[in-house]
Chain A
């Protein structure tokens, strides 16, 4: 499972490193869709908090990295 995850991460990096095209504004309709935003959903906010309380790892997701509460 770990190897699969690491391989998937490498593939994601390779895909993202392929040619980036310059887009005109009218070509960005799909990228501007609210579901395509590169952020957590507002409704996920409390889920991120619960996960930081129960897991040792945190951060790199625009959520808590530590401190601010009686958690890790």
Chain B
């Protein structure tokens, strides 16, 4: 009896100790006393400390191979058939590097450094020289720089961008200022971008239209100037004695753009963005090696296309993305375009990414496009010599176009092919057709590294 009594007492004391330990205040979380040691113990919580030093946030590589066929080249005045070949191949590559750091105000600064390199071969370019002996290809290099600051408290941004593009017949310098702000509840965002391109179009004329003397003879040698501006001195036997690049005149082209956008989250599955631009172009808006043939003159004689020196464009568009179910997303886009050259255009596209797994998706897509003809367009040999402006470039013709294909995206948490820094891979193929008989295919590859 005595043992049972002591057992009960002992058990009760143990229970009281247990309860006491559970309600006792954890003195480790009490405010520290006024005196503080300068020693920082190992393992102290540093989650509120943000490193401010510059670091590489992301590296993106995008490559595309493009191939095109057609037979109404603007270089040959829109002539149908082999002489009007529009065969093109283009290999485009772009590298973008994002550097980020925090400034004293804890605002995120992003510096995007980009470099693009395109190499193309264009069968129609060879016909700048009427005998088809012109240079059929070229390269284009286009670096870019963008600096954006994001306000840590409001989420608004401000930035500036610089651009350059150089190819043998065209030089461009560009600048933009962009700004955005969010709504109070952070569900909407309004953005503005003001952009200017200041370009120089090299005046490379069709060979038969070069007005300066193309050849002169002095003694036993003679000198010629090619359509691309190269001056060559040849011996009487035709051997090149010397070759020097002439400086062809250039003509300016200016493009000013004000772009507006507003995005809004509608609900947990739906968000929408409205976009609108106002674009004003001035200067030389055609290309000097595009020919036009007329119906009421010697049909073998062409002129260089002539277009107005100003153009105003107003495209407006809307994007709407909807998360359908658990695995399917609808990405839709519509644009209406109008300009003062008489062109009206509709663009509509839909893409349906299907998440096969959370890290692998397949995205079939379709894009429809149509446009009316510009006022200054007429097909091969349908312009009159009395027309003030004239072009036979089918870019300005009335046509419909369809673009369809499929894309694949892989973004596993452990990295693509197990490479931790290789966080994303996208491959995309598309087939494009116009009712002008222009057909093209494009394959693109995008790789993202963090």
**Residues of A with Cβ closer than 8 Å to B?**
1-2, 5-6, 8-9, 12-13, 15-16, 18, 20-23, 27-28, 30-31, 33-38, 41-47, 49-51, 53-62, 65-70, 72
A27 to B268, CA, bound (A): 6
Q: Name, among A8, A20, A33, A49, the residue most crowded by chain B CB atoms within 10 Å (CB to CB).
A: A20
Interface size on B, residues (CB 8 A): 100
A44 to B42, CA, bound (A): 48
A2 to B165, CA, bound (A): 37
A8 to B222, CA, bound (A): 67
Q: When the two chains form the complex, which single residue of A21, A53, A70 contacts B201, counting CB atoms closer than 8 Å? A: A70
The answer to whether A65 touches B255, judged by C-beta atoms less than 8 angstroms apart, is: yes
Is B94's CB within 8 Å of the partner chain A?
A: yes
Binding-face segment, B23-31, B151-159, B293-301, B439-447: B439-447
Chain A hits for B396, CB < 8 A: 56
**Residues of B with Cβ closer than 8 Å to A?**
60, 62, 64, 66, 90, 92, 94, 140, 142, 163, 165, 167, 169-170, 172, 174, 185, 187, 195, 197, 199, 201, 253-255, 257, 259, 261, 263-273, 275-277, 279, 281, 285, 287, 311, 313, 315-321, 323, 329, 331-337, 339, 341, 343, 345-348, 353, 355, 361, 363, 368-371, 374, 395-396, 401, 403, 407, 409, 411, 426-428, 430, 432, 434, 438, 440, 442, 444-446, 448
The answer to whether B337 touches A35, judged by C-beta atoms less than 8 angstroms apart, is: no
The answer to whether A9 touches B267, judged by C-beta atoms less than 8 angstroms apart, is: no
The answer to whether A16 touches B197, judged by C-beta atoms less than 8 angstroms apart, is: no
The answer to whether B279 touches A59, judged by C-beta atoms less than 8 angstroms apart, is: yes
Asked, given contacts A41-B446, A43-B446, A67-B197, whether A31 binds B371 with beta carbons under 8 Å apart, the answer is: no
Nearest residue (CB) in A for B92 is A46
The answer to whether A66 touches B442, judged by C-beta atoms less than 8 angstroms apart, is: no
The answer to whether A21 touches B199, judged by C-beta atoms less than 8 angstroms apart, is: no
Nearest residue (CB) in B for A56 is B343
The answer to whether A16 touches B287, judged by C-beta atoms less than 8 angstroms apart, is: no
A67 to B448, CA, bound (A): 28
A38 to B322, CA, bound (A): 11
The answer to whether B187 touches A58, judged by C-beta atoms less than 8 angstroms apart, is: no
The answer to whether B60 touches A61, judged by C-beta atoms less than 8 angstroms apart, is: no
Chain A hits for B343, CB < 8 A: 56-57
The answer to whether B411 touches A5, judged by C-beta atoms less than 8 angstroms apart, is: no
Q: When the two chains form the complex, which single residue of B169, B199, B320 contacts A12, counting CB atoms closer than 8 Å? A: B320
The answer to whether A31 touches B279, judged by C-beta atoms less than 8 angstroms apart, is: no
A56 to B279, CA, bound (A): 13
The answer to whether A69 touches B446, judged by C-beta atoms less than 8 angstroms apart, is: no
Q: How far is the CB of B118 from chain A (nearest CB, A)?
A: 8
Chain A hits for B448, CB < 8 A: 42
Q: How far is the CB of B342 from chain A (nearest CB, A)?
A: 10
Chain B hits for A72, CB < 8 A: 285, 395
